[in-house]
Structure 1
Amino acid sequence: MNALVEHRVFDHVPLDGTIGLEDLASKIGWEPAVLVRFINAVLVQGIFEEPEPRVYKHSASSTAFRDDAMRAYYQLGYVSLTAINRISPKCVPNTSKVSDYLKIHAPRDVYDPLKSPFSYSRGAEGKTYYQLLEQDPAFSDVWHKGMAQAAPFNPVLGMFPFRDMKEAVEAEPERAFVVDVGGGRGNALVDMMKECDGSFGAPMVLQDLKEVLQGEDPVRIDGVQVMPHDFCNEQPVKNAHVYYMRKVMHNYYDDKCRTILRPIVEAMGPTSRLLFGDMILPETARPGDDALPFYMDLRMLMIGGTERSEAQWKQLLETVGLVIVKIWRLPGAPHQATIETRLRGK
């Protein structure tokens, strides 16, 4: 909201009539693909209306922010928040500086992981979010503990039926059942083995960077082969039944994703599946919709990534030779999903 207020987005939307995304972005000097992410996050709160895709008009709530008094009242509260941040930076997330970032950066800088809003907020441009994470032990500890607490909200099970792989895996047990690429400490594989009561006699492989798997607290899981691996390099496990990536793609924009995906695609066999445990961003944002997907998208913007709609997923995957077989959505939370893909033509 502060970014929209400070960049006078409310003033550029006409009181009577509509304005398209491209025109509005041009008036404030932002990338359209960035602006839409901010607008979606307020549309679900009834701020602005979207009578047709990517076309906006004022609602009763958004009109109020054209008033200088209302705008000043809002910013008074925001100034108090940033004052707290200066006194105790741990109290307020660094999203408070994103408006300043957008004032002084070129529109496309947001796509450069070395110039992310988060890096800017830390005074550390030239380093990625994950480099900063690992060089700050206190921050890293909070992050890893936070991810563990968030796991129940990003479930592995209840979507793709891993247990239904039994017949195929038992017929070819020499092939790895699941290769969890970038799988952290292996929580996803543990969940899968609980559902399947084991691994159907085939290997389960956990891959991540050496410092993640063999650091101060080495990962040890019964029935799981721990394999240090950089997912930008050649995939050493060929023709697995399932390659699995959970909450990886949303950390990066498409160019980097293609770099990560190509080695896996090259390792896949005719019947291999590549599953993505990730979020599906709704195509539209309407008042009363679940705000979480749009807020998560803004969080990913801060650190150099993006959530994707179904159409955006399809477009990305097709560029590396994958087709979507089925999207398995979580009952009650359809934005959480497992995307099942195979090689094109297989």
Structure 2
Amino acid sequence: MPYTAARPDFAAVVKEFNGDPVKQRQLLKEADQLRLMLETPMDVLMKQWEMSQCIAAMNLLVELEVLEAIPKQGSISSKDLAEIVKVDDTSAEACRDQWHLSRTNSQYFCSQCQCLCVPQGSGKRIFQFMIDQTEPFYKLPEHFRTHKQEDLYDLKKSHYAWAVGLEVTPILGMFPWTSMKAKVEADPSRVFAVDIGGGRSQFLKAIQKEAPNGFGAKMILQDRPDVLASLTAEDIPGIKKMSYDFFTPQPVKNAYLYLMRRVFHDFYSPVCKELVKNVTSAMGPSFRFIIADMIMPEKVEIGTEVTPYWMDFNLMMLNGTEKSKKQFEEILDAAGLEIVKIFSFPFGCHANIECPLKTGEA
């Protein structure tokens, strides 16, 4: 197996870690490779079993709002906490111990919850989404036994929708932005960037750090009316909202940049080809289409980044899939585009894919 030997001073390097996220991922990968060298198949199985118990315990703590019931100062007895959340105190203690919540003694929860993971804010919502996926995952064998192969590509027959009883309901620092400055300032009448299906406009707001005020040209966020209604002008300063269905031809013509971030992985290739064709229907000769997504490795190697694989498995539940470079090329080729450059994140599989019209088709 292609394991990379850990450096002799690995422990010292970890102690000197300064918080850099790229360095963190590299060190975690090295630690994983050390574990792989030591683990037996039974060790792996027991670790997975252990984690299943941890997830179940954390779900109980989150859903019963146990963590919120622990006072900010001081401590609370197991009995009093159990009374607040309406569970037997032995159950609360079992969950606490599973997640190593701090305690003053065997009968108390203390105010400082030091555990492996306490989902809060957006992390709590991600954890709840993960739990929502669990039952549909376990129903996959039954879904495959009761559906035709072509149902995999039917947006109304996703694994998830079927598992929760909603089948036939549709579930629809890389690119150098500063390099656009001179061109945009020379003709600011054209729209600088159109973020298609951009949600809360995280993409455009990040771009604004390198392209203040769009270099004097408009920046447009496109999404469903209900998504846009949740955003105020203060949420997206300098960005214009536009209601748009990306399954229809693009209404903004001749923009410098058209952007799609984390959209393609929600669909299989046939749908993605139609999305790209809708973008190219509005393009001018000097436009750029930027796809921000993960690019699946060409082959699987033990001990490498695992995120794209578990993401791909999750997306299968929603009629989506992560894609390789070859798959992106096939999708773009169908709309007369080509990949001219891939701007990869320093670590992992995230990238910005730059796609203009093919030479001779402008």
- TM-score interval for Structure 1 and Structure 2 normalised by the shorter chain: 0.5 to 0.7
Tell me what 2:351 maps to.
337
Note the C-alpha offset of 1:98: 1.4
CA contact (8 A) 2:269 2:327 kept: no
Tell me what 1:121 maps to.
163
> What is the rounded CA distance, in whole Å, between the counterparts of 2:48 and 2:174 in structure 1?
43
Map 1:140-289; keep pairs closer than 5 Å.
Answer: 158-215=173-230, 217-218=231-232, 220=234, 221-289=236-304
- 1:213-250 deviations in Å (ceiling 9; x for gaps): 024x5465221111111112221211111000000111
> What is the rounded CA distance, in whole Å, between the counterparts of 1:77 and 1:219 in structure 2?
47
CA 1:192–1:126: 2 relative to 1, 3 Å: same
* Structure richer in strand, relative to its length: 1
Tell me the matched-pair count: 252
Amino acid at match of 1:103: R
Identity of aligned residues (%): 37
CA contact (8 A) 1:207 1:229 kept: yes
CA 1:198–1:284: 2 relative to 1, 3 Å: same
Runs ≥4 residues deviating over 6 A: 73-81
Structure 1: give runs of 5+ residues left out of the alignment: 1-43, 46-59, 65-70, 131-157
Note the C-alpha offset of 1:76: 9.7
The 3-state SS of whatever aligns with 2:310 is helix
Note the C-alpha offset of 1:196: 2.0
What is the root-mean-square deviation in Å for CA atoms of aligned residues?
A: 3.2
262-271 or 217-226: bigger deviation:
217-226
Note the C-alpha offset of 1:108: 2.2
> What is the rounded CA distance, in whole Å, between the counterparts of 2:185 and 2:51 in structure 1?
59
CA contact (8 A) 1:219 1:226 kept: no
The 3-state SS of whatever aligns with 1:239 is coil
309-318 or 119-128: bigger deviation:
119-128
User: Whose radius of gyration is greater, 1 or 2?
Assistant: 2
CA contact (8 A) 1:118 1:129 kept: no
Note the C-alpha offset of 1:118: 0.4
The 3-state SS of whatever aligns with 2:139 is helix
Instruction: Report the TM-score, using the length of structure 1 for normalisation.
Output: 0.65
Alignment of 1:112 with 2:127, yes or no, is no
> What is the rounded CA distance, in whole Å, between the counterparts of 1:76 and 1:188 in structure 2?
38
Alignment of 1:101 with 2:143, yes or no, is yes
- 1:301-325 deviations in Å (ceiling 9; x for gaps): 1111111000111011101111111
Amino acid at match of 2:204: L
